[in-house]
Structures are given as structure tokens and as C-alpha cells.
Amino acid sequence: MSSSNDYVPVDSTTLIMDGWFHERGPLWPGQAMSLRVQSVVHHSRSPYQDILIFDSTDHGRVLVLDGVIQVTERDEFAYQEMISHLPLYGHPCPRRVLVIGGGDGGVLREVAKHSCVESITLCEIDSEVIRLSKEHLPQLSVGYGDPRVEVKVMDGNVFMAANPGTFDVIITDSSDPIGPAGVLFETPFYDAMYQALAPGGVVCTQGENFWLHTDLIKPLIDGIKGKYSTVEYANISIPTYPSGGIGFIIGTKGREGDGVRRPKRREEAREVVEGFKYYDHEVHEAAFVLPAFARKAIYGE
């Protein structure tokens, strides 16, 4: 796992060659993801990362941070819905929700679909991601318009330390564990989330890909399962992420049994779920079913 000390900043425009953007991240050696570029919409460097936004010929508008694709308009709903609704429907009555990262606003958009949620706090360290998403990614940033949303531009660790035992659900929508985001994949960060959770609460974090990253996933799960009541790994299909999929690590505080493997509030949610593009209650349960090799590598089963 890389740290901020050995992180080398990336100029994302150098990855555009012959009209194609080529994502070649250090966490997935030997493979690349390429999208045909129609036009570059924006490129700049914030105090934290390189930010590129371009229009592609077939995947709509694309957000790239430090050379890594974060969202495309074509398939972003798969990630945003699942990282949000797995923990939210896994909780019987989430009222206070904290989103760490997720400056593009996609998770806010999904959380706001839950009428039982009373407050949504977004804690994003990079204000430029928020500003540029509002300007260039209205499909995602629409969530900022919800009156329940409060934005904190600051370090999520600092914010959680000041708000112990507060949140029913914490969702960490992070980039990959390279450079500044590396701390979000370490045990102390999960300890901080645990302290900020209310009893019965749920955390859900971006958990990398089981085809590529079991060497990151297993030690993290092993390191936190002694603190959380239940810890599970769920996975989804999304074509523009490495190897066509991404996972989530989901932990609960003070809740035994099946954790969030089975959705709650089924009847209450029926009309809302019918409007989703990826998530439904059957997909919720199926997300926790892993192929044999991944289950063995992650859980030792």
C-alpha cells in the first residue's frame, strides 16, 4: 500500500494519447482501461490531486482524479446506488448519515432518496472536487440541493473525532489507496468510524476489487473484525472500474447475526426501489455472494 510519502503526483492529460484516455493505475499492473476522448472539459491541480474532466464518445462525461477514473455518466449509478443503499437498507431506521469523500455528489443524491434520513453531512477535504462537480457534473451533484445536506470541507478523521456516537450510517466514498487516500484503507480510520457510529450503526467503504486486491482486502477485514460486530465484503459489476467490478467493506456496531446481508424496510422502500437502475433487494443479498476463490482468499473459508 502506498503512502503519501512515496506518492508521485500525476498529470492526467499525459494519459491521453491518439484520442484515447488510458488509465494505468499502479494497483492493477499489466492491464489498462481506455476510453475514447471527445473533448477535454477541464484540467487543473488542486492542493490535493490532479483533476481531469472530459467528454467521452460512448460513456458520457468522465471524472478522473490522479489519473484514475472515478465516474462516467454511463455507469456511475451502479456504484452510487450500491455503496449507498447496501448500508441504508441494511439499517432499520437511519436518521443521521455521514458521507466522507464523495465530493462529486453522487452518494448524496442516493442518500437523499431515503425519507427516514433527517440529516446528511458530507465531509470532503478537496473543495475543488465539489466546485467542479457542481459546474460540470449536474447528474451527480444534484444531491447538494437537498436541504438536509450540510457540507464540511475538512479532514474526515478530525470531524469524526469531534462527533462520537453520532451517526447511524457512515459511507466513505474514497479513491484508491494511493497517496492521500491511503489512510482511508488503514485500521485507525475504521477505528475512528466505529467511534463516530451510534449503537446499531453501519459503515460502508469502497473496498477495491477481489480479482486484484485480496492482499489489501483480507488484512483490512482481519484488522477490524475484532472491533465491529459483523464485517462483510460485497461486490458489484461496473464496467469502467478495474477488472469490471468493485467491492465494499461493510461493518456494524452492536449488531449480531446477518449484519446487513438482508435488507430491512422492504415494504416501505418498494416504490423507491422500483426507480433504481441497479439496486433492488435481490441484488442486495446477491452482492454478498462471492466466488469460491475470493471467499477463500478474503475469509479463509
Among 75, 173, 176, 280, the one annotated catalytic: 173
- The verdict on whether 6 is a catalytic residue reads no
The set of cell numbers assigned to 58 is 460512448
Q: Is there a contact between 120 and 111 (Cβ–Cβ < 8 Å)?
A: yes
Show which residues are catalytic: 173
